[in-house]
Structure 1
Amino acid sequence: MDSDKKNKVGSRQLSAFKQIERMHPIRMLLYLSMVGIGVLFFILLVAFIRTGGFQGENVQLPKFFSISTVLLLFSSYTISRVPGIYRKDKLHKMTRYLGATLVLGLLFIGAQLLGWREMTSEGINFSGKASGTYLYLISALHILHLAGGLIFLFFLFFKTAHVATDSVRSLIYIRDPYRQLQLAMLSSYWHFLDFMWLGLYLVFLFMF
Structure 2
Amino acid sequence: MKLDPKIVRELSIRFQPRNYLRVMPKIHSGKPLGMGYGQTRFASPDRSFQLVYLAQNLVTGVAETIIRDRFEDQTDRTLHASEVSDWVASTITVRSPLIVVDLRTTGLLKLGVTTDAGRAKAQEAARLLSQELYKRFAVEGILYLSRLTAAECIAVYDRAVTTKLAASKAVDIVRLRALIPALTALGVTLVNDR
TM-score band, normalised by the shorter chain? under 0.3
Q: TM-score of the superposition, structure 2-length normalised?
A: 0.25
Greater share of residues in strand: 2
Greater share of residues in helix: 1
Larger-gyration structure (1/2): 1
